[in-house]
Amino acid sequence: MAAQRNTGTEQTLTPTAGHSPRSSTYLFTKPSQGNCRTTVDVAGVKVGSKGLAIIAGPCSVESAGQIMRIAREVKAAGANLLRGGAFKPRTSPYNFQGLGEEGLKYLREAAEETGLGVVTEVLDPRHVELVARYADCLQIGSRNMQNYPLLREVGKSGRPVLLKRGLAATYDEFLLAAEYIMAEGNTNVILCERGIRGLTNELRFTLDLSAVPYLKERTHLPIIVDPSHGTGNARLVPAMSRAAVACGADGLIIEAHYSPADSVSDANQTISTDQLVTLIKELAQIAKAVGRKIQLPQIANSD
């Protein structure tokens, strides 16, 4: 049966039991009876719990030294997971494509040194096993949200998956992509709103924050926000991060670098690790106001 449209007059958005068409179409993503939220454990960080996940790091892993320094700095700022692309989905085939396995090794070293878990993208079904050897969470990028063989493969891997919304995907398509992963037996799926193509030519994408409260009605899965790709503009990242926490996001994934202008990819949307320090302090206050928590790092005693 075709998925039912929400006409605005019927309560199709409330958790449903029994014979709603959604029960069979959205078998694994639909809200649970009692509306319990799922938490996904990524290297000890429980994404979807009261404590927010703050995933930060560069767009791309550039060198061993770069990712090690950024890992230390984002950790000191209060991030609890490290991001960084080793396999990069670039619009042009002539742009830097990432360091591949070498980049994964550097990420792992930075993870071991700092104790941060690693979130990194897998682009190709043939690389899932390789990336899963190094990563704590497999990222499915926006351009691959409907790459069904890839979704099935990360589903089989059992590793937590960060599933980014396709840049022109509807909410239904987004949830059905999560179903592909979960139908393979992997329930560790985190959704990520990262902006969609809109009418705003001035910005790279339009960050759809309505996705957060809306999808919380449609699914028990955690949902985080990417304000970096969502805006394409570093100056807007703090405001949209604050808004994301205020509207109930379970976490953020933020591009940060000690020298944003020198980033080999996505320099325009990358904030400095110094800015991240200030931002996470602000986010901690907003989190508290909406009943959530961000654990700020202990300031070392100066004597």
The binder of 21, among ligand PEP, Mn ion, none, by C-beta within 5 to 8 A per type, is none
**Residue 230 touches which member of ligand PEP, Mn ion, none, C-beta under 5-8 Å by kind:** none
The DSSP element (H or E) to which 212 belongs, if any, is: helix 211-218
Residues 246, 52: Cα–Cα separation, whole Å: 12
CB of 185 to Mn ion, least distance (A): 30
Mask for 158-187, x = binds ligand PEP (CB under 6 A): ------x-----------------------
Out of Mn ion, ligand PEP, none, what residue 164 binds, judged by CB under 5 to 8 A for its kind, is ligand PEP
205: its two tokens? 């994408």
Q: Which of 231, 232, 233, 213 is nearest to 223 (CA)?
A: 213
Residues contacting 80, CB < 8 A, separation 6+: 45, 53, 54, 55, 116, 117, 295
141 binds ligand PEP (CB under 6 A): yes
By beta-carbon proximity to ligand PEP, the closer residue of 175 and 192 is 192
Total interface residues for ligand PEP by CB under 6 A = 11
CA–CA separation, 2 and 43 (whole Å) = 38
Residue number, 148 or 297, with CB nearest to ligand PEP: 148
- Interaction mask 51-90, ligand PEP, x per CB under 6 A: --------x-------------------------x---x-
Decide which of ligand PEP, Mn ion, none touches 141; Cβ closer than 5 to 8 Å per partner kind: ligand PEP
Q: 88-115: b or e for each residue (b if 16 or more CB lie within 10 Å)?
A: beeeeeeeebbbeeebbbbbbebbeebe
DSSP state of 269: G
* Residues 38, 112 contacting (CB under 8 angstroms): no
Which residues pair with residue 140 across a beta bridge? 163
Least distance to Mn ion, CB of residue 36, Å: 33
Give the Cα separation of 198 and 205 in Å (integer).
7
Binding residues for ligand PEP restricted to 223-252, rule: CB under 6 A: 226, 229
Residue nearest to ligand PEP (CB): 141
194 binds, among Mn ion, ligand PEP, none (CB under 5 to 8 A by kind): ligand PEP
Given 29, 39, 114, 142, the residue binding ligand PEP (CB under 6 A): 142
d(CA 101, CA 167): 27
Cβ-based nearer residue to ligand PEP, 119 or 284:
119
Q: Residue 137: helix, strand or coil by DSSP?
A: strand
- Min separation Cβ 266 and Mn ion, Å: 4
Shorter beta-carbon distance to ligand PEP: residue 194 or 218: 194
Q: In the complex, which residue's CB is closest to Mn ion?
A: 59
Torsion from C-alpha of 249, 253, 255, 258, nearest 10 degrees: 100
72 binds, among Mn ion, ligand PEP, none (CB under 5 to 8 A by kind): none
**Which of 128, 131, 77, 141 shows the shortest CA–CA distance to 108?**
131
Q: Which does 57 bind (CB under 5 to 8 A by kind): ligand PEP, Mn ion, none?
A: none
Q: Which residues bind ligand PEP (CB under 6 A)?
A: 59, 85, 89, 121, 141-143, 164, 194, 226, 229
